[in-house]
């Protein structure tokens, strides 16, 4: 079945998931949600996937905006994958409700656990643990692909009850503040003004001012700017200078930029 998978990613986890799932489905068109297009997004495929990271225990704001831009078509089937570090909470339940508001129906939603990339809370797990997570994710994506291909519907995965209570409350409390949480970013003396941070940001939140990055308060807290900085010169708060950086080992900066450039082309052609 012809399939299109839309994704958004900060450190490559969700791009890797989109790519692996696309292959497991027998080949799918992979398109970035970023930058947000200026026109309604029409899709030829009968099957449409949404792959995104869980941010602050819920759906990222720019994913909610993207939903409004998808052309409404009741003949299509929609599925989603929420990529997280073990705290999916009720993200996919939230997504289903938000899709209903804009006239879309979510057939199935899946939870994929990969290494944490939220560096203010610490660096990534050891390499052996990362490999375990990658192998488990790849195996689950094979099962997900089989279920999707079999047209199974109604599977919306969610975290335990305590997560759905506590983390949903925290998401609601913090959602309106996320865009301005970039006030804690700063740049140390290692910065050479390369501009990588501006190119990988999915919300175009980072710009160069006097050869140094500046943040425009449109942040999603994906932390792509910190994690992809080749000199580890970007920081958030006091602790990040001591932590190792993380991005998916099978995703490169080139992958990020190629996908982002393709999205620009799609936005012009839609």
Domain-ending residue, one of 165, 199, 220: 165
The pLDDT of residue 247 is: 96
Residue 217 lies in a domain: yes
CB-CB neighbours of 72 under 10 Å: 10
Q: In 3D, which of 181, 180, 177, 195 has the Cα closest to residue 234?
A: 195
| Token pair in block for residue 16 | 């890797």
- CATH code of 46's domain: 3.40.50.360
Residue 247 lies in a domain: no
In the chain the beta strands, taken as DSSP E runs, fall at 3-7, 29-32, 47-53, 77-84, 106-113, 185-187, 206-209, 212-215, 234-236
- Asked if 14 and 117 count as a contact pair (C-beta separation under 8 A), the reply is no
Are 89 and 195 part of one and the same domain?
Answer: no
Are 83 and 10 part of one and the same domain?
Answer: yes
Question: CA-CA distance, 78 to 10, in Å (whole number)?
Answer: 23
CB-CB neighbours of 116 under 10 Å: 19
Question: CA-CA distance, 226 to 205, in Å (whole number)?
Answer: 13
The pLDDT of residue 198 is: 96
Are 128 and 59 part of one and the same domain?
Answer: yes
Instruction: Tell me 240's DSSP state.
Output: G
Residue 257 lies in a domain: no
Residue 268 lies in a domain: no
**Longest CA pairwise span in the chain (Å):** 54
| Token pair in block for residue 90 | 């009720």
Domain-ending residue, one of 145, 165, 185: 165
Q: In 3D, which of 211, 234, 267, 260 has the Cα closest to residue 12?
A: 260
Domain-ending residue, one of 165, 186, 208: 165
Are 107 and 182 part of one and the same domain?
Answer: no
The pLDDT of residue 270 is: 38
Q: Per-residue confidence of the chain (270 residues) as pLDDT tens digits?
A: 699 999 999 999 999 999 999 999 999 999 999 888 888 999 999 999 999 999 999 999 999 999 999 999 999 999 999 999 999 999 999 999 999 999 999 999 999 999 999 999 999 999 999 999 999 999 999 999 999 998 877 789 999 999 999 999 999 999 999 999 999 999 999 999 999 999 999 999 999 999 999 999 999 999 999 999 999 999 999 999 999 999 999 999 999 987 555 554 443 333
Residue 19 lies in a domain: yes
> Which bin fits 255, alpha (ψ -120 to 50), beta or left (φ > 0)?
alpha
Are 47 and 23 part of one and the same domain?
Answer: yes
- CATH code of 210's domain: 3.30.70.20
Residue 262 lies in a domain: no
Question: CA-CA distance, 121 to 137, in Å (whole number)?
Answer: 23
Are 217 and 136 part of one and the same domain?
Answer: no
Are 161 and 179 part of one and the same domain?
Answer: no
Q: What is the pLDDT of residues 104-161, one digit of tens each?
A: 999 999 999 999 999 999 999 999 999 999 999 999 999 999 999 988 777 899 999 9
Are 61 and 143 part of one and the same domain?
Answer: yes
Are 30 and 109 part of one and the same domain?
Answer: yes
Residue 42 lies in a domain: yes
Are 21 and 127 part of one and the same domain?
Answer: yes
Task: Give the structural domain span for 212.
Answer: 175-242
Are 112 and 40 part of one and the same domain?
Answer: yes
Tally of domains within the chain? 2
Owner of token pair 């190629």: 258
Residue 184 lies in a domain: yes
The pLDDT of residue 268 is: 39
Are 207 and 183 part of one and the same domain?
Answer: yes
In 115-198 the beta strands, taken as DSSP E runs, fall at 185-187
184-189 contact pairs (CB < 8 A, 24+)? 184/236, 184/237, 185/213, 185/215, 185/225, 185/226, 185/234, 185/235, 185/236, 186/234, 186/235, 186/236, 187/212, 187/213, 187/233, 187/234, 187/235, 188/233, 188/234, 188/235, 188/241, 189/233
């Amino acid at each position: 079945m012809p399939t299109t998978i839309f994704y958004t990613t900060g450190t490559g986890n969700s791009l890797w998931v989109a790519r692996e799932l696309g292959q497991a489905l027998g080949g799918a068109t992979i398109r970035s949600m970023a930058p947000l297009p200026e026109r309604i997004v029409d899709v030829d495929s009968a099957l449409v996937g949404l792959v995104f990271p869980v941010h602050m225990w819920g759906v990222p704001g720019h994913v909610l905006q993207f939903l409004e831009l998808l052309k409404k078509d009741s003949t299509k089937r929609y599925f989603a994958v929420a990529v997280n570090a073990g705290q999916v909470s009720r993200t996919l339940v939230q997504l289903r409700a938000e899709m209903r508001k804009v006239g879309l129906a979510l057939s199935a939603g899946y939870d994929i656990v990969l290494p944490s990339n939220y560096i203010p809370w610490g660096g990534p797990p050891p390499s052996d643990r990362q490999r375990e997570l990658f192998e488990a994710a790849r195996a689950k994506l094979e099962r997900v692909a089989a279920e999707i291909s079999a047209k199974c519907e109604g599977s919306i995965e969610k975290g335990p009850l305590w997560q759905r209570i506590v983390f949903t409350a925290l998401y609601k409390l913090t959602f309106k503040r996320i865009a301005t949480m970039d006030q804690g970013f700063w740049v140390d003396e290692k910065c050479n003004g390369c501009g990588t941070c501006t190119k990988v940001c999915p919300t175009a939140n980072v710009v160069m001012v006097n050869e140094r990055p500046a943040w425009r308060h449109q942040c999603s807290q994906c932390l792509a700017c910190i994690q992809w900085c080749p000199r580890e010169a970007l920081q958030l708060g006091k602790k990040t200078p001591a932590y190792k950086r993380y991005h998916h080992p099978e995703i490169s900066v080139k992958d990020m930029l190629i996908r982002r450039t393709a999205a620009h082309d799609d936005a012009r052609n839609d």
